[in-house]
Structure 1
Amino acid sequence: MQKKNVFASILVFFVGFMALAQEDLPPPEAMNTPPPPGQLPIDSNIVILLVVALGFGIYKSYQYSRRNA
């Protein structure tokens, strides 16, 4: 019975916290405006990001296979 009370208390706390942490949506006219200048697009360096991620994956799999061999 004690575990159920603790679980229920934690659940109520986190549900209340999540409800208060929700961000208000901007008005509809603000949703259609373009982003302000100065923000960089991700598509210009996506190839570099993929190459680095692939290299890191190969490195980690090599480490894993060496450790378990």
Structure 2
Amino acid sequence: MKNYNKQFILILTLLIAIILPTLCIAQGDPGGDPGVPFDGGASILIAAGAAYGVKKYREKHLKK
């Protein structure tokens, strides 16, 4: 059991030693806004989801 704990701690330490530098050297913010508009279809999808939710709510409560 102690051998298993030592192996686990060793593997965990090695993984942290490998992953931590990659997080520290990560690329910075590229700056500027992206050229793709976000609101194009998202607002339509949100409105459709809200309408569907209202429809289901009314169906459920009007059947009572």
For this structure pair, what is the TM-score category when the shorter chain's length is used for normalisation? 0.3 to 0.5
TM-score normalised to structure 1 length: 0.43
TM-score normalised to structure 2 length: 0.45
